Amino acid sequence: MSEVNHQRIKTNGIWMHIAEQGEGPLVLLLHGFPEIWYSWRHQITFLANHGYHAVAPDLRGYGDSDSPLSPNSYTVIHLAGDLIGLLDHFGEKQAFVVGIDCGAIAGWHLSLFRPDRVKGLVALSAPYFQRSPCFGAVEHHRKLFGDGSFVCQFQEPGRAERAFARYDYMTVMKKFLLLNKTDFLVAPPDMEIIDYLETPSVLPEWISEEEVQVYADKFQESGFTGPLNYFRAMDLNWELLSPWQGSKITVPTKFIVGDKDIGFESIGTREYATGDVFRGLVPNLEVVILDGHHYIQQEKAQEVSDEILSFIRKLSTD
């Protein structure tokens, strides 16, 4: 089997780093916050071994991809444009798209804007929500969770970066990647989210110190401003998405979520994911609930890989 290959591709005005392996139908693997292509290390080889061309980019602002300075360059329209450029680079009319967290949000909106280019979508951890017709995204978030929520804290340029800088990069990555809180992330008054998150003293069996170090080394090179700009573009997203108010995601979709993900029980994600409103927005939907936390593709790598493969194989034979 071929090794994972790395290259940088010009797409939508930026250089995007990708890791790829295998030959066959294209599967895009889109990481979350704060991750890089490496978070799909298990799935890349698994899919390549089963006859697929697995491509995991560093999304804009992350890793070895370009990181535009302005938060206005991180909208879902920019992300969709980056992904269309990847499909065009490989000469593919359609791809299977798999995304987690902010990568899932990119996948949802690529499917919304260009369903003709998406054969099927697997979204992990982040369901598709209807745009609020009345309130901007951050205001809506503040009304629900208050100023201590991570979304609100991440809005001010430089604030989270300064807070993160009080810790070494290894500690920051452990606080996020090994997140085991099940309530939504809201810090107590006068406390930063990064201080609120715990640092596990023992790593779980699904990740090693060496693997966490890969993330730490890369974020030490690239910083956190690009990733945080995704949150700072939320209100602009809300403005730009008004023409799609009420639109449905029509592509075949599998949604995978861990039963211990943040807010899964406490803010009603379980009821939403299994309810009629979600299915009304995404009519061709299958929902899978696994035993796990937020970064489910790493924690339950084989289970997630099997779920992805069964879904894309089914669509390949339809």
Q: Which residues form the catalytic set?
A: 101, 294
Nearest to 132 by CA among 146, 121, 124, 143: 143
* Half-sphere exposure in the Cβ direction for 132 (13 Å, CA): 12
Mutual angle of helices 41-49 and 301-317, in 10-degree steps = 40
> CA 140, 141, 144 angle in degrees (round to 5)?
90
Contacts of 58 (CB under 8 A, 6+ apart): 16, 17, 18, 31, 36, 37, 64, 65
Work out whether the CA dihedral 164, 169, 171, 175 comes out positive or negative.
Answer: positive
Contacts of 22 (CB under 8 A, 6+ apart): 1, 2, 44, 47, 48, 49, 51, 52, 53, 54
Helices (H), the chain: 41-49, 76-89, 102-113, 137-145, 150-153, 159-164, 169-177, 193-196, 209-222, 225-232, 234-240, 269-273, 276-281, 296-299, 301-317
